[in-house]
Amino acid sequence: MKKIILLGPPGAGKGTQADKICQTLNIPKISTGDMLREAIASGNELGERVDQIMKSGALVSDDIILELILDRTTKNDCANGYLFDGVPRTLGQANLFDQNNILFTHVLELQVENEQIINRMSGRRWHPGSGRTYHITFNPPKNEGIDDETGEPLIQRDDDLPETVKKRLDVYHQETKPLVDFYSNKSSESDLVYATVNGDQSVDDVFQEIQNHI
CATH code, domain carrying 109 = 3.40.50.300
Domain span including residue 121: 2-28+75-213
From 75, 157, 167, 177, the catalytic residue: 157
Crossing angle for the helix pair 162-188 and 114-122, to the nearest 10 degrees: 140
Q: Is residue 20 assigned to a domain?
A: yes
The proportion of the chain whose per-residue pLDDT surpasses 90, expressed as a percent, equals 70
Neighbouring CB atoms inside 10 A of 20's CB total 16
Neighbouring CB atoms inside 10 A of 82's CB total 24
Q: Is residue 123 assigned to a domain?
A: yes
Q: Work out the mean pLDDT of the chain and round it to a whole number.
A: 92
Q: Is residue 60 assigned to a domain?
A: no
From 2, 20, 37, 168, the catalytic residue: 168
Q: Is residue 70 assigned to a domain?
A: no
From 49, 89, 166, 186, the catalytic residue: 89
Closest CA to 191 of 63, 24, 2, 62: 2
Checking if the pLDDT of 55 tops 90, the result is no
- Residue 57 has a pLDDT of 80
Q: Is residue 46 assigned to a domain?
A: no
- The three-class DSSP label of residue 54 is helix
Neighbouring CB atoms inside 10 A of 64's CB total 17
pTM: 0.82
- Residue 145 has a pLDDT of 96
Count of domains for the chain: 1
What is the number of helices (H) and of strands (E) in the chain? 8, 7
89 belongs to the catalytic site: yes
From 3, 14, 29, 120, the catalytic residue: 14
Taking residues 39-47, what's their average pLDDT?
90
For 83-92, what is each residue's pLDDT tens digit?
998 889 889 9
Strands 106-111, 2-7: pairing kind: parallel
Provide the 8-state DSSP code for 146.
B
Q: Is residue 139 assigned to a domain?
A: yes
- Residue 210 has a pLDDT of 97
For 61-81, what is each residue's pLDDT tens digit?
899 999 999 989 999 999 999
Q: Omega into 28 within 30° of 0, i.e. cis?
A: no
Q: Is residue 21 assigned to a domain?
A: yes
Taking residues 164-168, what's their average pLDDT?
91
Q: Is residue 67 assigned to a domain?
A: no
Closest CA to 176 of 90, 65, 96: 90
Taking residues 119-124, what's their average pLDDT?
93
pLDDT interval class at 121 (50, 70, 90): very high
pLDDT interval class at 10 (50, 70, 90): confident
- Residue 60 has a pLDDT of 86
pLDDT interval class at 58 (50, 70, 90): confident
SS3 letters for 58-72? CCCCHHHHHHHHHHH
Rounded Cα distance, 110 and 41, in Å: 32
Taking residues 38-66, what's their average pLDDT?
89
From 29, 120, 124, 125, the catalytic residue: 124
124 belongs to the catalytic site: yes
Checking if the pLDDT of 56 tops 90, the result is no
Closest CA to 44 of 16, 68, 79, 9: 68
Q: Which alpha helices (DSSP H) does 123-198 contain, by range?
A: 162-188
- For residue 134, the surrounding DSSP H or E stretch is strand 133-135
